[in-house]
Structure formats: C-alpha cells, structure tokens
Structure 1
Amino acid sequence: MTDTQNPNRAEVAFKVRVSAAELARARGSPAHLSNNSESRFRNPDGTRSLLANFTKGLPHIKETALVESAIDYDRFVRAIDSGDPRDFADLPLGPQGVEPRFTSGIASDPEVGTRAWESGGAGLVFDLEGPDAQAVTMPPAPELDSDELVAEVTECYWMSLLRDVPFPTFESNSHIQAAAESINNTQWIKFKNNPPAHLTAAERSRLRGPVTTANVFRGITPGDEVGPYLSQFLLVGTTGIANGNEVGDGFIQYGGMRMDQRVRVAKPHIDYMTTFGAYLDVQNAANVSGRELYKEEEPRFRFIHTPRDLATYVHFDALYQAYLNACIILLDIGAPFDSGIPFQLDNDIDKQQGFATFGGPHILSLVTEVATRALKAVRFQKFNVHRRLRPEAIGARVDRYCATKAPEFAGAAKLSEALDKELLQKVHDHNKKQNLLSDRGNPRANDFNPDGEVSEGNLLMPMAFPEGSPMHPAYGAGHATVAGACVTVLKAFFDGGYRLPFCYITDEDGTGLQAVEIDEPLTVDGELNKICSNISIGRNWAGVHYFTDYIESIRIGEEIAIGILQEQKLTFSENFSMTLNKFDGSTIRI
C-alpha cells in the first residue's frame, strides 16, 4: 500500500487556518451604539420608565403594562451581558406571587404556562469561521419620538389591517391605495426628496418613497419592484424525477420525495392581542402559542395568497427553508453559476465536474451553513446593544397615551399625535369588531381594560399570532439577518443576470398558480433579493417587526456571508472568483 499523504499537509492546513484567522482579526471590532432610550425616558418621579425598550417576560404593572421594576430590567441586562444561565434562571418571569397569574380569556386556561427568553447569551459565543458575532454592527434604531418611527408605525398599523387582501389585487385595491396615501403623508417619506441636514448617514440610507400601490410594503433592494409581489421561489416547484411535475404545480423535489409550496390557511379576519387583558398577559410571559385558528373547511392549504398566509409561512419556517428551496429550484432549471466558478466547460475540456466542490452539494450545504452565524450576530445586536421594543408594545404605548394622557406615557406623545387620525380610527374599529367575536375557541369574558370595563375599541396593534412577538427584542430581525446571509451565498454562486423562464401569481382563491406576462424580465438576483424581502417583511405583516429591522438586518447578514466566503476561498486549490451584486446595488468580487 502506498502512503500518498503529504507529510507537510498538517503544517499547510495550520497556515491556512491562521490566514483565515488573521483575515477575521483584521476586520476589527466596531463601536456598537444604541439610541440611549433606556436612560432617556422617565416616570414622573424621575425613575426610568423604559418606555421604548423591550421588557417582555418581566413582571408588568396591571394598569399601564409598563415594567414593574427598573431593577428587574437591570438584572435582565446583566444576565444578557454575562451569558450565564444561572443569571437568567434567577430572573422573575411573569407575575410573581399572584394567582391566577393570567386572567385574559385566551390565557386563563390552567394549562397555559410561561414563555422563556430565547438564546439571550448567543451573541457572546465565539465562532471558528466568518466574522465574529461582535465584528458586525447596526446603527442606532429610530427613537420613540422620531419622524422615522412615525412612518414605521403607520406602516405596521396598516399592515395589521390588510392581512387578508390577496397579493395579486394590491394595485387595484382601495384599501391598499389608502395605505399608500397615509404612508406618503408622513414626514419621513416627504424627507426623501429634501433630506434635512440633521439626518445621519444611516438614516439617509433608509429614506424611501413615495410609495404607490405597485410598491407599497415591498423591499427596497434591486428587483423588489419588478413583477409580482411574491418571489417566484415562494410559489413554483421543480420538474422533479423524470419530469414528474410541472413547475407551476408547486412541488419541490427533495430526493425521491417532494415538498408542497402550499401553506396551512389561517382563519381570515381573525387577529389576536386586541384586548388589554390579552396584551398584558402576553407581556407577562403567558405562553399562548399554538392557539391561533385555522380553516377546517377546504381549502385547508393553498399557495401564499395573502399577507396572512405569508405570516403563517414565517411563523413556522425552518430557518433557511426558503433559500434551500430557491437553491433547489435554481439547480433544477439549470441556472448557470457565476462565470468565475470552475468546471463549467464541456466535460471533454474540464475532465471533471463540480460536486463536493463547485457543484450542487457544495452550494446546497453552504446556503444553510451561514444561518447560525447570522443568528449569533443578530442576537448580540438584539440583546446586548439595542433592546428595542416590539410593535405590539408600541401599539400599547399609543393606546395608553391616547386614552389617558398619563405623564408616564409623555414620551409617546409626539408619535401618537403624529399618526394618521383616520388610520387610528380604523384600528379602533377593527379591534372593537375583533373583541366582539365569539369564535376564538376561548372565553372572552375576562378580557378587561384597566378600568374594569369590557374591552371594545382600542389602539393596540392587532397581531397575527396569539403570542405576538418572540421572546427577544426587535432590532435586528433574526429572519432578516438569516435571509441576508443565505441569499448572499446564492447570489455569489449563481449568475445574477440569468432570466427566469417563468412568472406566476396565485389564482383567484390561491389554490393554484397562473402564468402571467410582465414587461420586465425576472432575474436570479432580483428574485433572490425579493425572497429576502418577502421573508423579512413577512414578519412585519405578522406585527412583530418594523421596516428598519428588515433593512439593517439584511445588511449585516450580507456582511457575514461575504466574510465566510472570503475565508473559505483561502482553503481551495482552484483559482476562482465570485462576483455578486450587493443589496445597495454595488458589486463585490471575492
């Protein structure tokens, strides 16, 4: 037997790893800056109100739903900074020393337990590949009394009211038109053509609009405004084994099996957390997950047809699911790889094909590999830096200010008074209708306002999920960061200018797809950017994120993926390159 091992292999491998480590170290550590809301907003007695910060899970005051104790919050921050599980275990989770702990109709079931915080120490974890979780950063989130937040909250309220409008009807729908006009009337959108001098560079990069029925609630990356609202990768399937499927059937071949692109259909016109009692219980860590209602009559499954369907998709998706599907679809249609990737000539010329490297298995595994790195980086931003409150809590701040004008809510005055009054009336009427429903599957008799009256209309943010947001702060967004990272890998491997040979939208009831003609062709890059925006903004449709959570998070996801690709390139013997178009429209060559 011949020993073919290179005796110097271990030394060479060590040097490659050192080179990758040096590349990672050269990125440095950026300054992580928050908007200082924790110390800025105060109660009448001078104590911190934490009005603009994430406090979900800690005990809250029954009358205001503000956190009971700033000391508890400080202990929460110390646990985040230490990452020690014992520090988290010592925190108060929900109401302490009272029975029953939860009183609203949807949470009064004795089987309802508590929800714990999610991976609060993940941002402290080191990694052996790619940028360190703390080597990327996000600018400060919009402040509670900023013009930008007025636009974001306006958008969030409208999205909560429009979850059942089919995507293909957006351009002709009068409610979508009203939403576009309302958003355009915010000062932030008006800044687009004449930005004031005080805006930071980050804020200037987020200016957008004016919006129309053709682009409202879409992303702002290249391709987002081309063609249908939904990316083709969320609708179509593959031809599969022996051409057993049609692309328009919506089945994606997974080995010898196939996966259906259709989603479970939630009951339309049913929203959650629209009573103060339910909202308070959820802030107090009531675990009402899984109590949302779904259609029992046919169709029980359909293609993503409405924003509510998209919210269901992003409620249960398996982290990198959408991007793995997109990769399988691209491989199935024979989308070419980037021209700088080897082994693309005829077999008689190259004499080898891509597989373990520069082939299907390589890209299928790599597109998923970046996801965990993205999650760690965004967890540091969420927990350790910004601790931004979720839209559900913003809705409660607006509701309590408008209802009481209490001094502890004075920090929400500018936001509340700047919001579209007709929109707020629509939210009030919507919630009143929600709270009169009798088909929630739970008693509603205990859902009270703080003054003891049965809750009717209010300005709470209607939520697509009974449990509202996850148990971690809003900024950045996990879905969006993972989306930015996974899509960046795909854009690096595939020829971004390749034109997709199809364009589909959902049919009238969403049970099928229909081919449509469009003026401008759909490209790989455009539809990858669009699926990134669809998944990220899908979380906004659910009511759990803001626009800035999306746009700033996909940017750090992109940065993480580029760093991983740069380090991995050091490990190959082939001379190759990858050229990709970034979310801001610029081009980078790896």
Structure 2
Amino acid sequence: MSDCYPNAQQRDYEGRRAEAARLRDQQRDNASNGFDVTPPPVNGDEDRFKHIGFPGFASFTKGLAHNANGLVDPSSLQSLLDALQAGTQAALEQVQLGGGVRKLVNPLNAFAYQTTGNDSNGARIAAAPAFASRSTAIDMVERYWMALCRDVPFDRYATSGLVRAACDDLNALGFADQFGFVCTPETLFRGPYAGCDVGPHVSQFLLQDFQFGNQPIQQQQRYPRPGLDYMTDLDTWNQVNNGDVDPSGLDIIDGSRYITTLRDGGQWVHIDFPHQAGLWATIMLLNAKAKRAKAIPYGMNRAITTAEPFGSLGGPDITIQSGLAGVYALKHAWFQKWCVHRRLRPEVYAQRLELFRRGILGGAAGNPCNDEKFNDLFGEGAEVWRQTKVLNRIYEHNRQQNMAQDRGDREGSWLLPMGFPEGSPTHPAYPGGHSAFVAAAATVAKAYFADGPFPNPKVPVDGGSKLGDYCGEPLTIHGELNKLIANVTLFRDGAGMHWRTDGTTSGPNAGARRPGCGIETGGNLLGERLAISMLRDARSTYREEIGEFAFEGINGNSIRF
C-alpha cells in the first residue's frame, strides 16, 4: 500500500492555470466562430412607412410622444433611433418620451456582453413578417379570436361554438398555409411542435405540484376576473400608448386554481420570472428521478459507479444552467427587439384598423377595409380583413366592455381587448422575450434528461380546483417540454402581448405538423440556439467524460454535439 497522500502543496497549479486559460480561449474562439457578422435581415417596414409619409406606423413606439390619433411624433421616434444607434447610457437619456410615466424597458440590455455561449449581437433570426403581409393579418385574426376565447375552459373546446367559429374562420383564411397546421378544437392556440397537441392543453410542468427542497409547491395560481378585458376604448388606449398612465398591478384577482383557460395562462406569464418555468421543470424531473441523458456518465449501467453527481451534472448544476440560459436568452431577444426589428405590438396594429373604421385615415362608406389607402397600407393583408368573420364580434365584445366598465364613448371598437390593464410592455414585439427564455431553459432540460413516458400525468378537474389522473394518449417528457415552450409563448399571445411569429417557428421539418411550411421566425428558435452554445461551453468545464448531447429540436431536427 502506498504511503503517498494527496498534498495540496505539491499540485501543479501552474499547469492548472495554463489549462484553465486554454479552456477560456477555446470558449472565446467558439463564440467568435459563432458570431455572424453579416447584417441581420429586416422586413423593411421602417423605411417603407417613412418613405410614404407615415414614420413609425408599423414600428414599436409605445411610451414615445404621439399625436391625438396615436401616431408617433417623428422627432420623438428619431430620438429613440439615434439613441439606439449610439447604444450608450448617455444617449438613451436623451430619448423624448411621451407622458413619461411609463418608461422604456431596458434598451441597454441589447448591448450587454456575455461570457458564456454565443454573443447576442452575432445571432440571427428571420425577419419578422411585414406589416402588410398576409401572415401578419392572419396572425392578428388569431389574436382577436384568442381574446374572444379567453374564458373558454380548455376541456370545453370540443363543445364550444365560439371555438368552432374561430377554427372555421382561421382555416378559411389559410391559417395552415402560414403556420403549418389546420385549426381544430384539439389544435387551436397550441404550438406546432411534437407533443404540443397531445393530451391536456397545459404542460405537466405547469400543472403538477412538486417539492422545492423542503417546501411543497402547489401550482394553483391566482386567476384574474373572467370577462374583464382592458384598453377597449380609444381614450384609454391613447393614454396608455403615450405613457401618460401606467396601470400595471391593477389586475382584479378573483381566486386561485390550476390553469384552465387562456386568461389563467396569461396571468401566469404576466408576473413570472424568466428562470421560473425552466427551474420548475428541472426540479420536477430531478424529484421524479427521471432518467438522465446518455451523455451523462452517472446512473445505472453508466461509466461512474462510485460517486453521485452534485455540483457538476447534479441538481445544483442542472437547475442553475436552465436559469442562466433564460437570463442570457433575454440578451439575445433584446438585441433583436431594439437594434434590429422594432416590431409593433398587436395592440397597435388593431388601433391602425380602428383608425380606418372611424374614418380617420380613410375608409369607404360602410366598408372601411375597402379603399385605396387601406389597400396601400395593409397590402396583402387587406383581403384578409375583407374576408374574416371576427371584426363584428370584436366590435360587439368591446361595446359590451365599454358599457359595463363606463369607458370612453361607450361604443364598440376594433381595438384588441387586452388581458393586462397596462397592455403590452414598453419594448418591441419581435422576438418574444418569454418565447426565447423558455425555449432556452427547456433545451437545457432536454440535454440533461432522456426522453421517455411522463410519470403520473394529471389534468385539472372540478373547474381547476384540483388535479385528477390523466388517462389519454401517452405523454412524453420531451413532448411536455415542447408543450411548456408553446404554453409560455402562446399564453402571452392569448393576453394580447405578442404575434404567433414573435415566438413559434414553423420552418423546415416543423415537428409533427406540416414539414416545410412557413419561416424560421421567433424567439423559440433563438432561445434553443443560444442554449446549445451555452451547453457547448459548459461541457468543456466538466472533469467527467461527457458523451454526446443528443435530442430532437423544436423543428423536429436532430441536435447532436
């Protein structure tokens, strides 16, 4: 037996320092190689509308100064563009806000650096669909139907006349041609990825109770008052858009239950933290002792038999990796939002329609969607508005809201009924921040945990007051992670905050739906790619011999590294 014991004084610290430096250099080189220096693609809306005398008409301008018709003051818009070009704290202090009560959300995060994964400014996604595209118009029709269906319980979609009307309208407009699948009560308002249309509408990761250390976490959540929407009159809309008021935090809460409606889901994503969904998911998988991915050398019949994972490849590591992915995904989304696309929110597109309904921008007598100026501004989308069945329903819905809440002129409107009192946040729409950070976090979970049957699936019963056993088509772990991505993304849409294309992708090999349809838009794909680059860097730091990370991406593609 050797009498030589480990001696901290005799270790090769110079060698360790050199190896640590080499690893950091390698990560730097990887990030540099992953940095795309070609200019990001844009849809041309900013230049187009400036050229025809409507600067900012199709751009994000919330919180800036606007005229009485809700159109941005050109000098206020230019002050924002100048500040973003400079990208400094001093420059952004010179932005000319409107009322000044509502502030812009963190533009400087678009310029922040990161030391793990690829740099945000070198990432690329497809340009957002143009304002005048058919895609954007049909997307907006879905926003309207989501608002109308906010209080229909998911388990009653199959028997709801409102849901059937939504499906019929969207299908007649060509929803599948734009987004990759036909709308049915089983697919409506769901994601396009494998597993999204299997079983309950809500992912198990947003339903099941679990233990957070020694604390029981029950996933019942506070739900806002059914039937109460916001910003349905033009007076309130203008005040909120100009930043004269900030109604944040004025939600009326009626009780607690498991998520059973779009309105419930909207409230979950109203006040969540960026790392929350991913953290919950990884903790639940750890608690369930879910099988680790083949890349991980710990576990039954694996390479390491004398030790268990902890600080590396164990609970502390896996949970924090998903949280970090969420935070860094926000940097990637913020660069695209502020420095590239500056896409307007759906609530603003709807206000542009309302200006025509009122005859402020034009509009043929009795048919505001059928004059030359409307055709010019809305392009291919103009025909969608002449075909859809949703506008009359929205007008009546908003009329009833305005009468009941004593708003504005008590008449109806084509404004988008918002799920939050303050409407959308004061940062651009594309891509969605939630869509990026939830996809990044779920991708980390896919890398560390193997796919397989989801254990003991549940479904809300008795109006969401409790959970019962789910006995339908089998659910899978990775399928429920895909559903988690889609839920967190589309619940924001259901509250009126985002376009479908802000979040989901329907590019080549779009999961189990319609391969080859659409374009690779949105924050889901951005977040997935960011997470892969972070995992690439993390694996180089482990002393364990890590195998190949291998799992299916959201587009159905095989990811291996």
**Per-residue deviation at 1:272?**
0.1
2:495 is aligned, of 519, 542, 545, to: 542
Matched residues in 1 for 2:39 and 2:89: separation?
A: 26
- In structure 1, the partner of 2:30 is 23
Structure 1 residues 311, 356: closer, same or farther in 2, change over 3 A? Answer: same
2:206 is aligned, of 215, 221, 234, to: 234
2:218 is aligned, of 257, 260, 268, to: 260
Which residue identity is paired with 1:538?
F
**Per-residue deviation at 1:131?**
0.6
Correspondence 1:358 to 2:364? no
Matched residues in 1 for 2:154 and 2:531: separation?
A: 31
Residues 39, 48 of structure 1: 8 Å contact kept: no
2:189 is aligned, of 200, 205, 217, to: 217
**Per-residue deviation at 1:405?**
6.0
Matched residues in 2 for 1:131 and 1:179: separation?
A: 41
Backbone CA RMSD of aligned residues: 1.9
Matched residues in 1 for 2:379 and 2:44: separation?
A: 18
- Once the two structures are aligned, what percentage of the paired residues are identical? 31
**Per-residue deviation at 1:127?**
1.1
Correspondence 1:489 to 2:479? no
**Per-residue deviation at 1:517?**
1.2
Structure 1 residues 569, 421: closer, same or farther in 2, change over 3 A? Answer: closer
Residues 133, 379 of structure 2: 8 Å contact kept: no
SS of alignment partner, residue 185 of structure 1: helix
Correspondence 1:60 to 2:55? no
Matched residues in 1 for 2:389 and 2:33: separation?
A: 52
Which residue identity is paired with 1:81?
Q
Matched residues in 1 for 2:425 and 2:192: separation?
A: 25
- In structure 1, the partner of 2:346 is 391
Matched residues in 1 for 2:10 and 2:427: separation?
A: 52
Structure 1 residues 21, 348: closer, same or farther in 2, change over 3 A? Answer: closer
Correspondence 1:282 to 2:240? yes
Matched residues in 1 for 2:104 and 2:147: separation?
A: 25
**Per-residue deviation at 1:186?**
1.2
Matched residues in 1 for 2:114 and 2:95: separation?
A: 28
Matched residues in 2 for 1:572 and 1:209: separation?
A: 42
Correspondence 1:514 to 2:468? yes
Q: Give CA-to-partner distance per residue, 1:304-345, whole Å, 9 cap, x none.
A: 111101000000011121121111111111110001211213
Structure 1 residues 340, 71: closer, same or farther in 2, change over 3 A? Answer: same
- In structure 2, the partner of 1:580 is 551
**Per-residue deviation at 1:499?**
0.3
SS of alignment partner, residue 253 of structure 1: strand
2:480 is aligned, of 527, 542, 561, to: 527
Equivalent runs, 1:62-461 vs 2, <5 Å: 62=68, 64-68=69-73, 70-95=74-99, 114-189=101-176, 192=177, 207-237=179-209, 252-285=210-243, 286-295=245-254, 300-345=255-300, 350-404=305-359, 406=361, 410-412=376-378, 415-419=381-385, 420-438=387-405, 444=406, 447-448=407-408, 454-461=409-416
Matched residues in 2 for 1:348 and 1:431: separation?
A: 63
- In structure 1, the partner of 2:46 is 38
Which residue identity is paired with 1:412?
F
Which residue identity is paired with 2:389?
E
Q: Give CA-to-partner distance per residue, 1:413-457, whole Å, 9 cap, x none.
A: 75355224431000000000000114xxxxx4xx54xxxxx1410
4+ residue segments displaced more than 6 Å: 346-349
Matched residues in 1 for 2:96 and 2:219: separation?
A: 41
Matched residues in 1 for 2:138 and 2:234: separation?
A: 24
- In structure 2, the partner of 1:243 is none
Which residue identity is paired with 2:290?
A
Matched residues in 1 for 2:360 and 2:381: separation?
A: 13
**Per-residue deviation at 1:346?**
6.4
Which residue identity is paired with 2:557?
S
**Per-residue deviation at 1:27?**
1.4
Matched residues in 2 for 1:560 and 1:76: separation?
A: 28
**Per-residue deviation at 1:24?**
1.1
Residues 484, 554 of structure 1: 8 Å contact kept: yes
Where structure 2 has 5 or more consecutive residues not aligned to the other structure, the ranges are 1-6, 363-372, 505-521
SS of alignment partner, residue 122 of structure 2: coil
Correspondence 1:561 to 2:560? no
Residues 147, 187 of structure 1: 8 Å contact kept: no
Matched residues in 2 for 1:60 and 1:54: separation?
A: 12
Matched residues in 2 for 1:287 and 1:340: separation?
A: 48
**Per-residue deviation at 1:571?**
1.9
Structure 1 residues 288, 263: closer, same or farther in 2, change over 3 A? Answer: same
Structure 1 residues 587, 166: closer, same or farther in 2, change over 3 A? Answer: same
Residues 401, 413 of structure 1: 8 Å contact kept: no
Matched residues in 1 for 2:500 and 2:238: separation?
A: 25
SS of alignment partner, residue 216 of structure 2: strand
**Per-residue deviation at 1:5?**
3.1
Q: Give the TM-score normalised by the residue count of structure 1.
A: 0.85
- In structure 1, the partner of 2:9 is 3
Which residue identity is paired with 1:338?
A
Which residue identity is paired with 2:482?
N
Matched residues in 2 for 1:463 and 1:556: separation?
A: 26
Structure 1 residues 416, 427: closer, same or farther in 2, change over 3 A? Answer: farther
**Per-residue deviation at 1:480?**
0.3
**Per-residue deviation at 1:403?**
2.2
Matched residues in 2 for 1:405 and 1:277: separation?
A: 15
Correspondence 1:474 to 2:433? no
Q: Give CA-to-partner distance per residue, 1:511-544, whole Å, 9 cap, x none.
A: 111112113x111110000001000001001100
Which residue identity is paired with 1:133?
S
Residues 131, 560 of structure 1: 8 Å contact kept: yes
Structure 1 residues 349, 76: closer, same or farther in 2, change over 3 A? Answer: closer
Matched residues in 1 for 2:493 and 2:261: separation?
A: 13
**Per-residue deviation at 1:42?**
5.1
Which residue identity is paired with 2:54?
R
Deviates more, 1:334-343 or 1:503-512: 503-512
Which residue identity is paired with 1:488?
T
Residues 65, 280 of structure 1: 8 Å contact kept: yes
Q: Give the TM-score normalised by the residue count of structure 2.
A: 0.90
SS of alignment partner, residue 509 of structure 1: helix
